[in-house]
Chain A
Amino acid sequence: MSKKGTSSFIIQRATAVMLAPIAVWFLFGIVGALTADYAGARAWLAEPLNGALIGAFFIAGAWHMRIGMEEIIVDYIHSWLKDVLLFLNWLAALGVIAGAAWSLYTIFFAG
C-alpha cells in the first residue's frame, strides 16, 4: 500500500458508511432470497429497489473487501507470494464487480 495509505484509509471508511445501511436492509431479506427457487430468486432480484441495492452492495463491498484483504496480505506475507496474492485480490474484486454488473444488466435491460 505504499503511498496509497491515506486514500485506502478514506475509501475503506467511505465504503463502510455506504455498506452499513445496505447491509441492514440486506440482512432482512437475505435468507429468504438465498433459499428461494430460481423463479422466486429472479423475481426478488428483478425488483428495481432490490436490484439497485444489491448492485451497490456488490460494488462497494468488492472495493471494501479488496482494501481489507490487501491490509491483511501486507501485514503477514513478506515473500514473493505477496505480489501474487495482491494481484489475485485485485482480480477477485474486479470479478465480483464485473459479475454483478453483467448479471444486473442482463436482468434489467437485456432479459
Chain B
Amino acid sequence: MADGATSGRPLSPHLQIWRFTVTMAASITHRGAGMALYGGLLLMTLWVVGLALHPPLFDAVSTIIHSPVGFVIIAGFVWSLLFHLMNGLRHLYWDSGRGLAPKTATMTAWLVYIAATILTAVILWAGYGGGA
C-alpha cells in the first residue's frame, strides 16, 4: 500500500473528503428501502400463510398490524415500496443511457423523495378510511 502520508502524494479514495448530495442519499435510501421491503415480504409471507393454512398465525400477525407498531410498519413498507419503485424506474432509465446528467439526476432524486412521501400520505389516508 502506498504511504501517502510520508510521500506527500494524495491518498485515494478520499474517504474523509466528500459532501452531501441528494443523489448519494437516494442511492443509500434505495438499498435501505430494499432491505426494509425484504423484511416486509417475509412478514407478508407469514400473513398469507396464516390466511391460507393457519388462522392462529394470521391472528398473531393481525394483532401486530393493528397495533401502533403495525401502523409504523405499514407506513414504512408503503413508503419503501413507493421509493424503491420510483427510484428503480430511475435506474432503468439510466440503463438506457439517459437521465445521467448531474442536473437531471439531482432533480429526479428530489422528485422521488417528494412523490414517495406525498403518495404515502395519500395511500395511508385512503387505506385507513380517511376518504369514507
- Give chain A's interface residues, CB within 8 Å of chain B: 13, 16-17, 19-20, 23-24, 26-28, 30-32, 34-35, 37-38, 41-42, 45, 54, 58, 61-62, 65, 68-69, 72, 92, 95-96, 99-100, 102-104, 106-107, 111
Interface residues of B in 18-60 (CB under 8 A from A): 31, 34-35, 37-38, 41-42, 44-49, 51-53, 55, 58-59
- Pick from A28, A54, A68 the residue with the most CB of B within 10 Å: A68
Out of A41, A72, A111, which one reaches B31, CB within 8 Å? A72
B53 touches A69 (CB 8 A): no
Q: Is the CB of B41 within 8 A of A20?
A: no
Verify if B3 is at the interface (C-beta below 8 Å from A).
Answer: no
Query: Which of B45, B55, B78 neighbours the largest number of chain A CB atoms within 10 Å of its CB?
Result: B45
**Given A30-B78, A35-B66: A68 and B48 within 8 A (CB)?**
no
Sample of 17 A–B contacts (CB below 8 Å): A16-B92, A23-B85, A35-B66, A38-B55, A65-B38, A68-B31, A68-B38, A69-B34, A95-B45, A96-B41, A96-B45, A99-B46, A99-B48, A100-B49, A103-B49, A103-B51, A107-B51
* 10 residue pairs, one from A and one from B, having the closest CB atoms: A31-B127, A103-B52, A99-B45, A106-B52, A103-B48, A99-B49, A65-B38, A96-B45, A68-B34, A107-B52
Complex interface: chain B residues within 8 A of A102 (CB): 49, 52-53
By a beta-carbon cutoff of 8 Å, the part of chain B in contact with chain A is 31, 34-35, 37-38, 41-42, 44-49, 51-53, 55, 58-59, 62, 65-66, 74, 77-78, 81-82, 85, 88-89, 91-92, 95, 119, 123-124, 126-128
Residue of A26, A34, A37, A106 with most chain B CB atoms under a 10 A cut-off: A34
Q: Are B53 and A13 touching (Cβ within 8 A)?
A: no
CA–CA, A95 and B46, complex, Å: 10
In the assembled complex, the Cα of A38 lies from the Cα of B45 at a distance in Å of 15
Q: Which of A30, A45, A54, A96 contacts B42 (CB 8 A)?
A: A96
- CB-nearest residue of chain A to B85: A23
> How far is A102 from B53 in the complex, measured between Cα atoms in Å?
9
Q: How far is the CB of B11 from chain A (nearest CB, A)?
A: 21
A31 touches B123 (CB 8 A): yes
Q: Tell me if B45 and A20 are in contact (CB < 8 A).
A: no
Report B117 CB to chain A, min CB distance, Å: 14
